[in-house]
Structure 1
Amino acid sequence: MHTRTPGTSVALGSCAAIGGLGLLGLLAPPVLADTAQQDLRAEQWSLEAIGAAEAWERTEGAGVTVAVLNTGVDDTHPDLSDKVEIGGDYTGQDLAPGDEYYGANGTMLAGIIAANGHGQEHTGGIMGVAPAAEILSVRVTPEADDPAAGAATARADAVAQGVRHAVNQGVQVIALPAGDGGPASEAEQQAISYAVRHGVVVVAPGGDGGSTEPEYPGGYEGVLAVGAVDETRQLAATSSRQENIAVTAPGAAVPTIAAGGGYTEADGTAAAAAFAAGTAALVRAEFPQLRPQQVTEAIVSGAQSVGGAQGQPGHGAGLLNAPGALAAAEGVAEDVPPFDPDLAEDDGGLPIPAWTLWAGGGVLVLALLVAGVLVLRRQMANPYGLPPREEVPVPESEAPRRGAHRAARSRK
Structure 2
Amino acid sequence: MSFTRTLRAVGGVAVAGALLFTAAPTASADYIRDGQWALDAFNPQKVWKESTGKNVTVAVIDSGVNGDHVDLKGNVLPGKNFTNEGGTADHESGDSHGTAMAGVIAGHGHGSNHADGIMGLAPDAKILPIKVNEIGPGSDLDGPIRYAVDHGAKVINMSIAGSGLNDLEKSAISYALKKDVLLVAGSGNDGSSKQLYPAAAPGVLAVGAVAKDGQVLAESNYGPHIRLIAPGEKIYSTGTTPQYRQGTGTSDATAYVSAAAALVRSKFPNLTAGQVANRLTKTAITPDGKTGIKSPDPKYGYGVIRPYRALSENIPAGPKNGPLTMPKDSEPSAGAGANAPGENPSASSGDEKSGLSPLMIAGIGLGVIVVLGIVIAVIVASKKRRNGPPPGGPGYGGPGGGGAVPAQQQFGTYPQSGGPGAYPPAPPTQPPGR
TM-score over 0.5 for the alignment?
yes
Please name the residue that 1:406 is paired with: none
Q: Determine whether 1:2 maps to 2:8.
A: yes
- Range moving further from structure 2, 226-235 or 278-287: 226-235
Taking the aligned partners of 1:105 and 1:93, their CA distance within structure 2 comes to 18
Correspondence 1:143-292 to 2 at 5 A: 153-157=136-140, 159-180=141-162, 182-260=163-241, 262-292=243-273
**Which of the numbers 353, 367, 373 marks the counterpart of 2:337?**
353
For the 8 Å contact 1:302–1:326, the answer to whether it is kept is no
Q: Structure 2 counterpart of 1:321, which letter?
A: R
CA drift of 1:97 comes to 5.4
Please name the residue that 1:52 is paired with: 44
Q: Which has the larger radius of gyration?
A: 1
What SS does the aligned partner of 1:227 have?
strand
Please name the residue that 1:28 is paired with: none
Q: Structure 2 counterpart of 1:3, which letter?
A: A
CA drift of 1:306 comes to 1.1
Q: Unmatched 5+ residue regions in structure 2?
A: 1-6, 16-27, 321-330, 342-434
Taking the aligned partners of 1:242 and 1:62, their CA distance within structure 2 comes to 33
For the 8 Å contact 2:185–2:199, the answer to whether it is kept is yes
What SS does the aligned partner of 1:331 have?
coil
1:69-97 superposed Cα distances (whole Å, 9 cap, x missing partner) = 00000001000011101211112233755
What SS does the aligned partner of 1:85 have?
coil
Taking the aligned partners of 1:46 and 1:164, their CA distance within structure 2 comes to 31
CA RMSD of aligned residues (A): 2.9
1:367-403 superposed Cα distances (whole Å, 9 cap, x missing partner) = xxxxxxxxxxxxxxxxxxxxxxxxxxxxxxxxxxxxx
**TM-score, normalisation: structure 1:** 0.69
Taking the aligned partners of 2:9 and 2:250, their CA distance within structure 1 comes to 12
**Which of the numbers 63, 76, 82 marks the counterpart of 1:90?**
82
Taking the aligned partners of 1:97 and 1:135, their CA distance within structure 2 comes to 9
Correspondence 1:26-37 to 2 at 5 A: none
Q: Structure 1 counterpart of 2:46, which letter?
A: E
**Which of the numbers 289, 298, 315 marks the counterpart of 1:313?**
298
Label 1:99 to 1:241 Cα distance change in 2 as closer, same or farther (>3 A): closer
Please name the residue that 1:324 is paired with: 309
Correspondence 1:327-406 to 2 at 5 A: 327=312, 330-333=314-317, 349-350=333-334, 353=337
CA drift of 1:332 comes to 2.8
What SS does the aligned partner of 2:118 have?
strand
What SS does the aligned partner of 1:68 have?
strand
Taking the aligned partners of 2:185 and 2:229, their CA distance within structure 1 comes to 12
1:93-149 superposed Cα distances (whole Å, 9 cap, x missing partner) = 337555653x4100000000010101122111111110111101001233xxxxxx5
Taking the aligned partners of 1:351 and 1:173, their CA distance within structure 2 comes to 18
Please name the residue that 1:361 is paired with: none
Label 1:105 to 1:116 Cα distance change in 2 as closer, same or farther (>3 A): same
**Which of the numbers 35, 46, 62 marks the counterpart of 1:43?**
35
CA drift of 1:304 comes to 0.9
CA drift of 1:289 comes to 0.1
**Which of the numbers 83, 94, 104 marks the counterpart of 1:112?**
104
**TM-score, normalisation: structure 2:** 0.65
1:315-354 superposed Cα distances (whole Å, 9 cap, x missing partner) = 10111111122235x5235999xxxxxxxxxx97248636
1:248-280 superposed Cα distances (whole Å, 9 cap, x missing partner) = 101110111111462121211111000000000
Label 1:133 to 1:352 Cα distance change in 2 as closer, same or farther (>3 A): closer
Q: Structure 2 counterpart of 1:237, which letter?
A: A
Taking the aligned partners of 2:215 and 2:332, their CA distance within structure 1 comes to 43
For the 8 Å contact 1:208–1:268, the answer to whether it is kept is yes
Label 1:334 to 1:212 Cα distance change in 2 as closer, same or farther (>3 A): closer
Taking the aligned partners of 2:270 and 2:238, their CA distance within structure 1 comes to 32
Q: Structure 1 counterpart of 2:158, which letter?
A: L
Label 1:188 to 1:278 Cα distance change in 2 as closer, same or farther (>3 A): same
Please name the residue that 2:132 is paired with: 140
Label 1:230 to 1:168 Cα distance change in 2 as closer, same or farther (>3 A): same
Label 1:99 to 1:295 Cα distance change in 2 as closer, same or farther (>3 A): closer
For the 8 Å contact 2:64–2:91, the answer to whether it is kept is no
Q: Which is richer in helix?
A: 1
Q: Structure 2 counterpart of 1:236, which letter?
A: L
Taking the aligned partners of 1:120 and 1:297, their CA distance within structure 2 comes to 37
For the 8 Å contact 2:142–2:168, the answer to whether it is kept is yes
For the 8 Å contact 2:65–2:91, the answer to whether it is kept is no
